[in-house]
């Protein structure tokens, strides 16, 4: 394993926050190279605590090489309603609602409203890349429990035979 990658993974895994620290500050969209006009929107991306009466959502990512190009990302959630804002329910529910945000190498790429997503090759650079997904409420705030964000990430090296180098989930789905 590449020494740089090993060091990065060691730091992430040994920290009780791990990948959490990568998204704790509000994002400044004005400095990001975004693929849509979302950079002009004013979203704080600050953490928001999951109500105590609701269970903590669970999140896991699986990445598959696409037969033609890029990758297919499967986002598995439990105790979370992944949906666009127009389908939000104002009545009390038994689980947390919202959407997800996709980041590649620290850059927010898009919102996610479904469980499958294609990631084109042009999102990735040579060497190690990070794909990260956060669960967010409809105001774009990142869901947390006890100040730990619901986040999952995959570190990959596209040209390597074993392209996935490491998976991390702050709230894994327990089978």
- Domains of the chain are 3-169 (2.60.40.10)
pLDDT at 174: 84
Q: What is the pLDDT of residues 40-56, one digit of tens each?
A: 344 457 899 999 999 99
pLDDT at 59: 97
pLDDT at 175: 74
The band of 88, judged by pLDDT with boundaries at 50, 70 and 90, is: confident
Evaluate if residue 15 carries a pLDDT over 80: no
First to last CA, the chain: 29
> What count of Cα atoms within 13 Å lies in the side-chain half-sphere of residue 10?
7
pTM score of the predicted model: 0.76
């Amino acid at each position: 394993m590449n020494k740089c990658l090993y060091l990065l993974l060691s730091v992430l895994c040994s920290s009780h926050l791990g990948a959490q620290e990568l998204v704790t500050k509000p994002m400044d969209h004005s400095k990001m190279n975004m693929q849509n006009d979302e950079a002009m929107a004013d979203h704080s991306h600050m953490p928001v605590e999951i109500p105590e009466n609701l269970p903590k959502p669970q999140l896991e990512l699986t990445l598959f090489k696409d037969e033609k190009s890029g990758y297919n990302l499967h986002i598995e959630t439990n105790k979370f309603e992944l949906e666009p804002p127009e389908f939000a329910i104002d009545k009390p529910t038994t689980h947390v609602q919202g959407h997800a945000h996709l980041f590649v190498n620290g850059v927010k790429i898009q919102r996610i409203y479904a469980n499958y997503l294609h990631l084109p090759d042009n999102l990735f650079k040579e060497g190690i890349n990070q794909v990260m997904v956060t669960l967010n409420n409809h105001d774009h705030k990142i869901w947390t429990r006890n100040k730990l964000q619901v986040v999952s990430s995959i570190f990959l090296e596209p040209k390597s035979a074993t392209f996935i180098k490491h998976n991390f989930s702050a709230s894994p789905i327990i089978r």
